[in-house]
Amino acid sequence: MAKIFITGSADGLGQMAAKLLVGEGHEVTLHARNSKRGDEAMAAVPGAASVILGDLSSINETIKIAEQANKLGAFDAVIHNAGVGYQERNRINTPDGLPHVFAVNSLAPYILTSLMEKPKRLIYLSSGLHRDGDPTLNDLAWQERSWNGYRAYSDSKLHDVLLAFAVARIWPDVYSNALEPGWVPTKMGGPSAPDDLDKGAETQAWLAVSTDPEALVSGKYFYHKKIKANLKAADDLDTQDLFLSKCAHFSGIKFPSK
How would you list the strands of the sheet with 121-125, edge to edge?
A: 50-53, 27-32, 3-6, 77-80, 121-125, 175-179, 221-223, 226-227
Active-site residue flag, 36: no
Question: Hey, what amino acid is at 46?
Answer: P
- Report residue 141: phi and psi, to 5°: -90, 0
Per 3-state DSSP, the chain is made up of helix, strand and coil in percentages (nearest 5) of 45, 15, 45
Based on the number of CB atoms within 10 Å of its own CB, is 80 exposed (0-12), middle (13-18) or buried (19 or more)?
A: buried
Cα 179 to chain centroid, rounded? 10
Please tell me which residue in 110, 124, 153, 221 is annotated as part of the active site. 153
Please tell me which residue in 3, 19, 157, 246 is annotated as part of the active site. 157
Active-site residue flag, 157: yes
Active site residues: 153, 157
